[in-house]
Amino acid sequence: MSARLIEQADWSDLKPTLAHSASVSSTSPIGKIELFESFADVADSWRAFETTATCTPYQRYDWLRIWQDHIGAAEDVRPVLCQVKDPSGRLLAILPFGRYRHGGFRVASWLGDKHMNYFMGLYAPGDAVLEIDWRPVLKWIARHSDIDVFFLKNQPRTWHGRPNPMASLPSHPSPSQAYSTALDPDFETFLESRRPGRWKRLLRNKERKLALEGNITVARFVNCDEASAVLETYFNQKARRLSEHGIPNPFDPPYVRAFFKDVVCSQDRDDPLLELYALYCDNDILAVYAGSGLQNRFSTSICSITDSPLNRYSPGEQLLKALIADRCARGDTMLDLGIGESRYKRHWCPDTDDLFDTLVPVTAAGHVAKHLAIMARRAKRAIKQNERAWSVYSALRSLKAGKPWHPNET
């Protein structure tokens, strides 16, 4: 697809033509909005903007461009890339949407879908973006991109202490929580600050017993060949574990695996998009963790453990402990373990990130889609936020697959 600007407008000229134009403040900080369908058109501005913008690692230009090249293209997602500028031409926000069809509806969501954790736009520092009424902006985008409804899920209310500008829109709590914590330059100080309990003693005992099984080492990988090999181990370990629990494998499609391999093979080793960690016993990989860092916050995204008898020593949590120690040493100030409930996450990350979903219907069909989505997300949240209900659901899912159920394995 050739790179081209598909639509732009001076915001002051649009105010009289917008539905509910009274909601567009005469003091709006917006000067111009632009729409693009090609990543190439916004490469330079996006890469420069992400270094200071409020955003997660999953909104970096190269991460989403590679995602679109592999997964988005394969799943018929069309990029809808919006730049919002102030009257002087300074970037206020980049909104990386993807348009697709679902159940007959034309839906726009943040690019990235289920292959990453947090979703949001990229927003300039300062208060100007907090003064924007985003409803007319989204309606303008929808009008020029054939969109029925915006479904913006798993958005953090704050990031790096800054409010998420989209939180000004009506929203609903996301089904799952995310877990995060502040780090300390000294890992031992950080470890001591974790909530005391039996889990620390058990982990130390398992660490000692694991050391008797062979030479235990941890390594970090950011270069193509080594990281690709570790990714293969991750894919294999994850496939076996998901099958055991009767869960469909989102990494099974070849284009999904190609995305991750392209990420590690095209990234800058001094500023990587994805960093992999592996725990070895001699030459065997017992566990894999991977994550992405940006602005001194490290976000883990994928993890897997061996199905060998050595998994009784909790190799995943042993590796996580080493990973956190490394991130402390590298100067990171925040860590998150992503979205999804698990007991081990609460051990390491006592704080939760408040996540919300935004549904903005634009057409009559969009209003129908909104109500259907709200009912489905509420049901999902009710199950996930009730530990007993989630435990029963997980057990039934495993039994349906003809497999034993092992809760909270790490």
- pLDDT attached to residue 399: 43
Domains of the chain and any CATH numbers: 5-173+354-388 (3.40.630.30), 184-332 (3.40.630)
CA distance 207 to 201: 10
Give residue 19's identity as a one-letter amino acid code.
A
CA distance to 98, 145, 157, per residue, from 82 (Å): 11, 11, 21
pLDDT score, position 261? 98
Q: What is the pLDDT of residue 289?
A: 98
pLDDT of residue 5: 67
Q: Tell me how many degrees the CA angle 185-186-187 measures, rounded to the nearest 5.
A: 110
Bridge partners, 32 (sequence order): 10, 85
Burial class (CB in 10 A: 0-12, 13-18, 19+), 161: exposed
Q: For residue 114, what is the DSSP state? A: G
Q: What is the pLDDT along the chain (410 residues), one digit of tens a residue?
A: 334 666 676 766 554 343 332 233 456 799 999 999 999 999 999 999 999 999 999 999 999 999 999 999 999 999 999 999 999 999 999 999 999 998 888 999 999 977 788 999 999 999 999 999 999 999 999 999 999 999 999 999 999 999 999 999 999 898 888 999 999 999 999 999 998 888 999 999 999 999 999 999 999 999 999 999 999 999 999 999 999 888 899 999 999 999 999 999 999 999 999 999 999 999 999 999 999 999 999 999 999 999 999 999 999 999 999 999 999 999 999 999 989 888 899 999 999 999 999 999 999 877 777 777 767 666 665 555 555 644 544 545 544 544 444 554 45
- pLDDT for 8 equals 73
